[in-house]
Amino acid sequence: MGPVIICRCEEITDEEIAAAVAEGAASPREVRLRTRAGMGVCGGRTCRHAVARLLAEAGLPEAPGPRWRPPVRPVLLGDLSRRPDGGEGPCA
């Protein structure tokens, strides 16, 4: 069937993740740092469970996954900076 894309955002395949594990990656974080799987636009939402599953299937002990960092939902910076009254600029 060929390599399967695990991280859709960065287009990282199961073969690339297996190579990272062979080089010593032993946790989702290390896989992410070596391959970028989980560092794409979706914030790891799509691939985090698949990456954890691949590591488990490689016989690695369960390790804490990537932490959810604020903002938990994607937000435009312009929306974050808008004042409650709808104006721009710092709140009084």
Contact residues for another protein (CB under 8 A)?
A: 8-11, 40-42, 45-46, 74, 76
* Least distance to another protein, CB of residue 11, Å: 6
Name the minimum Å distance from CB 61 to another protein.
Answer: 28
* H/E element, 12: strand 12-13
Q: How crowded is residue 50: how many other Cβ atoms within 10 Å of its Cβ?
A: 18
Residue 80 Cβ, how far from another protein at the closest point, in Å?
15
CA R_g for the chain: 18
Residue number with CB closer to another protein (15 or 62): 15
**Which residue, 27 or 50, is less far from another protein as judged by CB?**
50
9 vs 25 by CB, closer to another protein: 9
DSSP states of 28-53? HHHHHHHH-TT-STTTTTTTHHHHHH
